[in-house]
Structure 1
Amino acid sequence: MYESLHEHFPDLAPSQSTVERWYREFIHGNFVLEDAPRSGRPNISHNEENVNEMLDLVTKDPHITYAQLEYETELTSGTINIILYKELCVSKLCARWIPHSLNLQQKYIPIDFCKIMLKRLLMEIQELFLRSLQEWVEDDAPPPTKVRRARSVGKQMWAIFFRSSGFVEAVALEDRKTVTADWYTTVCLPKVITAIGLQREKIGIRGILFHHDNASSHTAIRTRELLENSGLKTLSHPLYTSGCSLESKINYVGGDFRLMRS
């Protein structure tokens, strides 16, 4: 029988266990297809009237809470949850805060302004460049020439330390040198710790939260040992985030301490 059903109704045929159960019932003379009555009362709370009532409450007050819904409808939290998520297909999300709600025309105003300013800037740069090349010369004099500037001597690297109350210390890196754990622990950090002690004569470095990124010189064993022995508590730095290091721009860092490049 099971093979015959699947042969004629491949998508609608019941499972083999269902066919076997039906076969046993038919043998015992039970040909009633309706479900037999069961103990317990049926669930009458999950009906169209309650669904419409819930929809009306949520529409009128999108900020309504579960406790308020239970009080207004006298339904259980489980029934309310089923109606909200399965019947109404709604979910409660935090609204995004934006300073202003602009229409399409207002959004184009700053774009047009930036285009105008960029155009003026390019014109002024071009005019300045041409003006710097032009010189007054006599009719029989040769045309003027411009000598290309010599190569710059390079940038000076600084490690600048700030507290939430202001500047602490600036430590210069020697020309054409690399930031290493040796320089960081023997030259840079000792100057910073000394400067903190001078600024906070009574409590010293107690309570300072030190923050720097995950550069190799910052995560070296000797650096961690120096900070631990000095009593400085460090703030962890999340991976793949722009932070404050010897090679970063000036960005705000939370806590009482921050390290940045000039």
Structure 2
Amino acid sequence: MEKLVLADRRIKLWQIAEDLQISKERVGEIIHELMNMRKISARWVPKMLTPFDKQRRLQTSKDFLELVGDNIDEICDRIVSMDETWVRQYDPESKQESMQWTKKGERPPKKFKVQKSASKLMATTFWDSESVLLIDYLPKGTTMNGQYYANLLAQAGSRTEATWKLSRGVLFLQDSASVHTARVSRQALKDTGFSEIDHPPYSPDLAPSDYLLFSNLRKELRGRRFVDDNQMKMAVESHFNCKEKEYFLGGLKALYTRCEKCISLEGDYIEK
């Protein structure tokens, strides 16, 4: 049975039962209880990582662990991170999110297919170990470019000047999107006095904004309908305002354990 399964990972129970001339129930029992195997769906990943990509992720993770050393609280308190995400007037719940408890014999609830709304806003968020420092909503009809992003960096820098972080040295974490690496953006980052932490491309699993901030925001907003942009903005800001310091600090600390996992997986993607 193990040879059959390993030869074709998509083989069905009834096919194994026919091949071995035993019952389908017995096949299931052997596979689940004796072979300790289960059938799972393929996981979507941002990109098929090349050996070079994996090496980059591996080295970046090692560099971060070396930076942190035994001072994870101090390092995380110095980190400022940022990213962009789309916020929609309506984003339907997934099938799993709309699951309901039902009694035996009751008809299962129906869920109708609904498309995401075309109306949306791009929110750029700067945050640290205590709170969200800045949220900017890209005006409709405007394109995010290097100059626009440079202006946001200047705003984030001025807000950080009022805290002790700048005197201790801000560690800035962003991805390698083209607007972040444009010449004007690089100069603006230099003017803020921030020191950039290297972040490998195609790595949302190593980006706190992706695995914490925006994933939880999207979960809360899914299934809600907003009448206009102002209502969307209020919902986003309300979501972040109710979070305690431990929420943001915990998200940054999680990067340490994720880097450890990335190293143990030799640079491959981390399971959620």
User: Fold-level match, TM-score > 0.5?
Assistant: no
**Which structure is larger by alpha-carbon Rg, 1 or 2?**
1
Bin of the TM-score, shorter chain as denominator length: 0.3 to 0.5
TM-score of the pair, normalised by structure 2:
0.36
TM-score of the pair, normalised by structure 1:
0.37
Higher helix share: 2
